[in-house]
């Protein structure tokens, strides 16, 4: 795997390294040793999938607080998404900054989201599926969110938001 740093400290685009032959290719999408060697969390306790019927579906910006902060490895297994990570770590040099990575089934790339960062995405195609590997169990009492269009962050979304949950639409301003 290739770990490509983004502009946010500790956030990486992870690309597969294909071993091609006459059958197609083989590639590793997870290796505990490689993540540990990079200083990244290699703990996975839960995997989840998100299926989205419509283009323009926005999910996010979600995170969990202590003691259940989570790291995520996110991959789009069908379709394409505009994936966004927002740094909420007070001690981070990139606090309150965001980055976006285009994730797609054809690219087979992933985003590593460290603890203390919010995560969300916008589907760019109908029938899009997103797969998450998560370091902590989901705990509703620790679940939090940042509104997708909070003026404090000025996240740029590449397309119109057509579908969004009431919860995601009504998170309070960060301030």
Query: Among all residues, which ones are annotated catalytic?
Result: 62, 132
DSSP 1-33: -EEEE-SSTT-EEEE---EEETTEEE--S--HH
Structure tokens given for 62 = 């979600």
C-alpha count within 13 angstroms, C-beta hemisphere, residue 41? 19
C-alpha separations of 58 from 50, 62, 149, 155, 157 in Å: 11, 11, 11, 13, 10
């Amino acid at each position: 795997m290739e770990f490509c740093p983004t502009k946010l400290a500790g956030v990486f685009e992870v690309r597969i390294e294909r071993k091609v032959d006459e059958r197609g290719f083989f590639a590793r999408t997870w290796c505990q040793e490689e993540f540990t060697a990079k200083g990244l969390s290699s703990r996975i306790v839960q995997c989840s999938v998100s299926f989205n019927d419509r283009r323009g579906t926005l999910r996010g910006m979600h995170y969990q607080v202590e003691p259940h902060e989570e790291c995520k490895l996110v991959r789009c297994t069908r379709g394409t998404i505009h994936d966004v990570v927002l740094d909420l770590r007070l001690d981070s040099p990139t606090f309150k900054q965001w980055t976006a990575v285009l994730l797609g089934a054809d690219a087979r790339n992933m985003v590593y989201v460290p603890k203390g960062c919010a995560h969300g995405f916008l589907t760019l195609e109908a029938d899009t599926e997103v797969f998450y590997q998560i370091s902590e169990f989901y705990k509703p009492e620790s679940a939090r969110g940042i509104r997708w269009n909070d003026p404090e962050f000025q996240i740029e979304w590449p397309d119109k938001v057509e579908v969004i949950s009431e919860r995601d639409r009504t998170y309070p301003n960060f301030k």
